[in-house]
Amino acid sequence: MTNPQDAPADGYPGVGRVLVVIPTYNEADNVRIIVDRVRKATPNVDVLVADDGSPDGTGAIADELAAADSQVHVMHRTEKNGLGAAYLAGFAWARDRGYDAVVEMDADGSHQPEQLPLLLGALAEADAVIGSRYVRGGKVVNWPVSRQLISKIGNLYVRLVLGMPVRDATAGYRTYRMPVLDKIELDKAASQGYCFQVEGSWRSHKSGCRLVEVPITFIERERGQSKMSSKIVREALWRVTVWGAQARVDAVRRVFRKRA
């Protein structure tokens, strides 16, 4: 595993310049803590806080952090348009500034910055890396049994319907090389909420990208309110079903074309 302290000043070995994108909405209790942990765990990585106009002052706190640290940046968005939109805006920001890779990370501490070197080390020989709760060595801490069941059953449904060998397609802790984002055209993603993560996994798989899962320990947030809702779950189920049906239709069409 690569040690972040061994990374060159302008990037991460085998990866290059890395930007961690942290979407926020009402994360005033968490944003200072998570940014500090990222900077300590991976000092050669930059951070972008993408704030969706949080009324609790999250954006102002992020501005203070950026003023004190040249490797911390802030994007102020005017309204809450969903997780997917915030990430896409962050990816575009990274592309415009010549970064080589981007990281998706939640602000609430559920994604441990101390495990980021694991993801970046794996990215040295991959196109995209998922921090997975459901591969050997991965685990979830402080989730109720009901939440774990929903997550595991949802990921099983994704694997069965899409035929995709990813055990944690809904995981939000992940990193992409910038050229991969262009290849999979993630900017055309129709999903919002956590289904955005499934769509990123699906597009990567369909495009033949080297998609790797590394084990992480996911810890339920201690402060603030979760953004998960039944609407997000319904969106994911509906979109996965549609994608699976379309994939089967496309497969049948390919068979008929070959016979013709």
- The predicted-structure confidence for 14-35, as pLDDT tens digits, reads as follows 999 999 999 999 999 999 999 9
Q: Would the pLDDT of 189 be above 90?
A: no
Max intra-chain CA distance, the chain: 65
- Is residue 259 in some structural domain? no
DSSP 19-42: EEEEEESS-TTTHHHHHHHHHHH-
- C-alpha 108/C-alpha 115 separation (Å) is 15
- C-alpha 44/C-alpha 47 separation (Å) is 10
Structure tokens that stand for 91 in this block: 């990816």
Residue pair 17/93 in contact by the 8 Å Cβ criterion: no
Sequence-distant (6+) residues with CB within 8 A of 230 are none
Looking at residue 260, what is its pLDDT? 64
The domain tally of the chain equals 1
Taking alpha carbons only, the member of 86, 94, 112 closest to residue 180 is 94
3-state SS of the chain: helix, strand, coil percent to 5?
45, 15, 35
CATH label of the domain that carries residue 85: 3.90.550.10
Is residue 82 left, alpha or beta, with left meaning phi > 0 and alpha meaning psi from -120 to 50? left
Residue pair 142/109 in contact by the 8 Å Cβ criterion: no
Looking at residue 11, what is its pLDDT? 72
Q: Which of 19-23, 40-44, 77-81, 170-174 has the weakest average pLDDT? A: 77-81
Q: Would the pLDDT of 109 be above 70?
A: yes
| Residue 32 belongs to domain spanning | 7-253
DSSP 131-182: EESSSTT-EEES--HHHHHHHHHHHHHHHHHH----TTTT---EEEEHHHHH
* Residue 132 bridge partners (DSSP): 215
- Is residue 61 in some structural domain? yes
Residue pair 38/105 in contact by the 8 Å Cβ criterion: yes
- Is residue 2 in some structural domain? no
- Is residue 217 in some structural domain? yes
**Neighbour tally for 49: CB within 10 Å:** 27
- C-alpha 169/C-alpha 208 separation (Å) is 16
- C-alpha 24/C-alpha 137 separation (Å) is 29
Average pLDDT over residues 208-218: 97
Residue with tokens 């961690």: 20
Q: What angle do CA 72, 186, 152 make, to 5 degrees?
A: 90
**Neighbour tally for 198: CB within 10 Å:** 26
- Is residue 258 in some structural domain? no
Q: pLDDT tens digit string along 45-73?
A: 999 999 999 999 999 999 999 999 999 99
**Neighbour tally for 252: CB within 10 Å:** 9
Q: Which of 74-83, 205-214, 241-250 has the weakest average pLDDT? A: 241-250
Taking alpha carbons only, the member of 57, 218, 249 closest to residue 152 is 218
Mean pLDDT, rounded, of the chain: 89
- Is residue 1 in some structural domain? no
Between 193 and 208, residue with greater pLDDT: 208
Looking at residue 147, what is its pLDDT? 87
